[in-house]
Structure 1
Amino acid sequence: MSETPAESGSLADRISKPTGPNPTADAFQPKSGTSWADEVASPATETPPKVSETSEDIPQVDGATGPFGGSSLHEPDYQVEVKLADMQADPNNPLFSATSFEQLGLSEDILKGVMSMNFRKPSKVQEKTLPLLLLNPPHNLIGQSQSGTGKTAAFVLNILARLDLSSEQMQKTPQALVLAPSRELARQIVGVVKVMGAFVQGLITEAAIPQDAASRGKKLEASVVVGTPGTVQDMIKKRLMDSRSVRILVLDEADNMLDQQGLGDQCVRVKALLPKNIQTVLFSATFPDNVVKYANQFAPGANQMTLRHEDLTVEGIKQIYLDCDNDQAKYDILVKFYGLMTIGSSIIFVKTRETALAIEQRMTAEGHKVVSLTGGYEGAQRDVIIDAFRMGQAKVLITTNVLARGIDVQSVSMVVNYDVPDKFVGKGKFVADPQTYLHRIGRTGRFGRVGVAVTFVSSRGDWEKLMEIQKYFATEIIQVTTDDWDELEDQVTKIIKSSRAGANFQDGARMGGT
């Protein structure tokens, strides 16, 4: 089904007023005019862990699980800031900050799953968020956290710790619900839950995503459900999913979900179909100012966690742009880039499904092996395409923003912004979209590796938007001339090869994060 049904009225009008444990708590609010990524923290003083080459130190993957080629956690220096909604919280409580998973009171079965993923100690984000998430009575949480810092593991551990699996009936009754903006991210999270909960007796995890005709109408029986908002809403209304026992609601990539009119409306409606006293957890890498009020209303009285990190938006990513005379020149240069894109694997981001299909058809006709993935494909087709890309069977993937969020594929060494990311603001006007740019380029340069982000500019408007993005993140996007192709090819090849060599080094130095 469609994930964006229309309904009159604004999103803010349909979110109930704060009624949580402390409705008067200060609202979660980044500094005006900036993103969290602009907040520069002083370097931490602790000594980075030594790199070990022993087999015991082979670390867990981040985001996607091992069979699906996920990336490792490389935890750089940053500071985690916490604001408590309940000012009576005791900072001397032994769970105020946890430096080991054993301190959290998790069951042996959950700890076995943690250790099986080669978690050695909590990441800095997990040190602060897990005690807050595991508080009793449960508290809401709003968290800003870069991909790869451990947010998925944090909310999954909280879910596993709160499940009641004492009877077969409860094992088949949804108790935790995770909402994600795309089927690809939902499937990825399902994989994390299954691996981390592999030793938890009676755990059943299912995806509530748009299904093919043969699967429709089947009742969903699972203790943990991960899905897209429209499908979950539809299944609850059709009584294919029992929502009466849900006690935890998680929104991953929450800013994207609440900012999009259709998805945001669906999230609000899903929450209205759940019990009133649930724990609500919102996680995202970015929370633009215009989304903050929705987040506070959606998760009232929430504890708040922010991660401030030096050069967060650009670490390890070489950002360049190419001046192209017109759309045909953009395509011609893209074809030239094909050899570079297949050194590792690459994602080409375009604005529309039509552009994705046209590029795929033209490049395929010229003998280049590429695949495209957009919302226009049926669910089963999308699963086959993304899985082939994860496993390296397809090296170049053309997609719209459907894959800009949360998808973790370790081998991606290049991202191409075929179209400069922008957003519609009404009256025929489009403006730069820094958040989408950040999430797009974040598909490469994963967690300490080096990657390349290439943006094509073919008009004055494109250039102005890209300069706005550059200013927003206080970074430098370097213009590279296409006149000397040999020199350009040599530069990009060196960056990509250094990223692949560096992967072996970084893989020994991770801690605990998904």
Structure 2
Amino acid sequence: MSFESLELDPVLLQAVEELGFKRPTTIQSQVIPVAMEGRDVMASAPTGTGKTAAFLLPIMQHMIDFPRRRPGPARALILTPTRELALQITEQAEALAAYTHMKVASIIGGVAEEKQLPALEKTVDIIIATPGRLMQYIEDERFDSRDIEILVLDEADRMLDMGFIGDVDRIAAEARWRKQTMLFSATLEGAGLKKFAEDLLKDPAELYAEPPRSERKKIQQLVYFADTAEHKFNLLKYLLQQEDVTRSIIFVKTRERLAELVSQLQANGIDCAWLRGEMEQEKRIEALNRFRSDRVKILVATDVASRGIDLPDVSHVFNYDMPRSADTYIHRIGRTGRAGKKGCAINLIEAHDVGMMERVERYAEEKMMRRVVDSMRPQHKISKPAGKRKEKKEDEKKDEKKPKEKIRHRVSKNKGKPDWAKKHAEKAAKAAEKPESK
């Protein structure tokens, strides 16, 4: 399939070509024709599959086919969980709209209000927003939702995880005159997400876009076992110095762990940028720009950066801390191996990480390759965490203490016989024991 076969307008095809898109991805070829028919869409699309263009192109084609008659507020609203993802979608929307007259704007937290006035007061076609900040403007009656024709919920599962369900429900109610709703999520599983989708969508086309096996294999997944935290940091330091590690993202679980690791790296002469939640927008943009412009080769991040941020040419992803879920792991490693290139995900595993590592392997249906650095081989055999072994032993001891049930012979002998048969047998036995009378 080609983009031309999707019946897109020539001005959109010209922008697509300049962006370097050769052929539609799986999710694009599934979503675009259905969305252009005006149907609601519920789609499962893993990271890096091109879903942003999958919803932007039908929106823009709709606006070309049905141009606005008068100036006014937004006709399409795209909700996304994080500022970084909102900015990325805005950037791609502006690129795709380059040869049209469409206006694109974003409404996100961490940005001064005066910078967002055009999105609120001037004519705009597409708004990309985070739910929390948009709700502030709705409650202040500064954002008009009455002209919204298309509503898109991107990373819907993440919005639920982050507690935005109330805001999203309210925003959807404000945009109740819309004609079409599209929901995109990494997975369509879970009662919460299904109930959420039922309330918002009308007879949606359910689409599932698993990346081809050839794409999945482009990310090599390796495991290095570590005895201690010090051993793990030394492994990280050694691996970062290898020639093939050109640009890397290191993931940690918490802000505290991020501060600790950044300090360790800098103390060892390794320069890096960092990204975490509750960070001023200017500092976020500066950190990403330093990484994108090659001023630093390493970005240390919490999971705020695991979804949606398109960072080019990331050769390696390091899981310094394993994530809390297998789904988050998939999103983390999706930062590498993008745009058809190969990538590598390296997992540094201590004993307490083994359980999550095994869950990830089951979830991905793929065994990670074990590797060692000869000069830093682990001294201890990594197995299940001690706590789990202890619990198992305690359970075994409890079973040993339980007294064995005694099975009496007379009970087993008459097992299955009715009571009257047992009584009859007992009488016959007693009669047989009495001596015969003379």
TM > 0.5 fold call: yes
The alignment status of 1:471 with 2:362, answered yes or no, reads yes
Alignment pair present for 1:265 and 2:166: yes
Classify 1:275/1:298 alpha carbon distance in 2 versus 1 (closer, same or farther; 3 Å).
closer
Question: Match for residue 285 of structure 2?
Answer: 383
Q: Which residue of 1 aligns with 2:19?
A: 117
CA contact (8 A) 1:219 1:241 kept: no
Contact 1:181 / 1:256 at 8 angstroms: preserved in 2? yes
Q: 1:404 aligns with which of 300, 306, 309?
A: 306
Q: What do the CA deviations read for 1:464-490 (whole angstroms, capped 9, x no partner)?
A: 11111112221111222244359xxxx
Separation in 1 of the partners of 2:71 and 2:134? 20
CA deviation vs aligned residue, 1:310-337 (integer Å, no higher than 9, x gap) = 5478421221222222323322322223
- Deviation track 1:395-451 (CA, whole Å, cap 9, x = no partner) reads 1001111111122223101111111111xxxxxxxxxx1100111011112244322
- Aligned in 2, Cα 1:337/1:191: closer, same or farther, shift over 3 Å? same
User: Equivalent residue for 1:372?
Assistant: 274
Would the alpha carbon gap of residues 225 and 288 (structure 1) be closer, same or farther in structure 2, given more than 3 Å must change?
same
2:131 is the counterpart of 1:218 = no
Q: Residue 329 of structure 2 aligns to which amino acid in structure 1?
A: Y
Deviation at 1:281, TM superposition (A): 0.7
Kept in 2, the 8 Å contact 1:110–1:199? The answer is yes
SS in 1 for 2:300: strand
2: CA distance between counterparts of 1:107 and 1:451?
A: 35
- The amino acid of 1:443's aligned partner reads R
TM-score, normalization by structure 1:
0.67
Q: The residue matched to 1:161 in structure 2 has which SS?
A: helix
> What are the residue-to-residue correspondences of 1:140-219 with 2, within 5 Å?
140-163=40-63, 165-166=67-68, 169-170=71-72, 173-201=73-101, 203-213=102-112, 215=114, 218=117
2:326 and 2:356 in contact (8 A); partners too: no
1:261 Cα deviation after fit: 4.9
CA contact (8 A) 1:342 1:395 kept: no
* 1:43-442 mapped onto 2 (5 Å cutoff): 99-135=1-37, 138-163=38-63, 165-166=67-68, 169-170=71-72, 173-201=73-101, 203-213=102-112, 215=114, 218=117, 220=119, 221=122, 222-258=124-160, 260-290=161-191, 291-311=193-213, 314-340=216-242, 343-422=245-324, 433-442=325-334
SS, match of residue 199 in structure 2: helix
Larger Rg: 2
Q: Which one is further off, 101-110 or 321-330?
A: 101-110
What's the offset of the Cα at 1:228? 1.3
**5+ residue gaps, structure 1:** 1-98, 423-432, 487-514
Query: Judging changes above 3 Å, is the alpha-carbon distance between structure 1 residues 304 and 198 closer, same or farther for their aligned structure 2 residues?
Result: same
Structure possessing the higher relative contact order (Cα contacts under 8 Å, 6 or more residues apart): 1
Q: Give the distance between the partners of 2:343 and 2:375, measured in 1 at CA.
A: 22
SS of 2:367's partner is coil
Paired letter, 1:446: R
Distance 1:256 1:476, change over 3 A: same
Aligned-pair identity (%): 31
**SS of aligned partner of 1:452:** strand
Q: How many angstroms apart in 2 are the aligned matches of 1:389 and 1:195?
A: 22
Q: CA 1:271/1:146 → structure 2, altered by over 3 Å: closer, same or farther?
A: same
Matched AA of 1:445: G
CA–CA distance in 1 between the matches of 2:317 and 2:96?
30
For residues 235-285 of structure 1, the C-alpha deviation after alignment (integer angstroms, 9 at most, x for no partner) is 222233221111111122222223x15123322222122124441111233
The aligned counterpart of 1:446 is 338
Q: Residues 2-27 of structure 1, C-alpha deviation per residue, up to 9 Å, x if partnerless?
A: xxxxxxxxxxxxxxxxxxxxxxxxxx
Letter in 1 for 2:144: D
State the TM-score, normalized to the length of structure 2.
0.78
Contact 2:106 2:116 in 1 (8 A): no
Equivalent-residue separation in structure 1 for 2:23 and 2:213 (angstroms): 25
Partner of 2:117, secondary structure, is coil
- In 2, the alpha carbon distance for the partners of 1:216 and 1:118 equals 31
Answer yes or no: is the 8 Å Cα contact 1:174–1:241 preserved in 2: no
Which amino acid is 1:479 matched to?
A: R
Whole-Å Cα distance in 2 between the matches of residues 313 and 457 of structure 1?
A: 25
In the aligned structure 2, how far is the partner of 1:448 from the partner of 1:117?
A: 14
CA distance in 1, matches of 2:100, 2:332: 35
Q: How well do the aligned residues superpose, as a CA RMSD in angstroms?
A: 2.5
Matched letter for residue 303 of structure 1: A
**Alpha-carbon separation, structure 2, partners of 1:120 and 1:480:** 37
Structure 1 residue 341, shift from structure 2 partner: 8.2
Q: Does 1:458 align with 2:334?
A: no
Aligned positions, number: 371
The 1:481–1:219 alpha-carbon spacing in structure 2 relative to 1, beyond 3 Å, is same
Q: 1:261 to 1:393 in 2, by over 3 A?
A: closer
Cα distance in 2 for partners of 1:331, 1:139 equals: 51
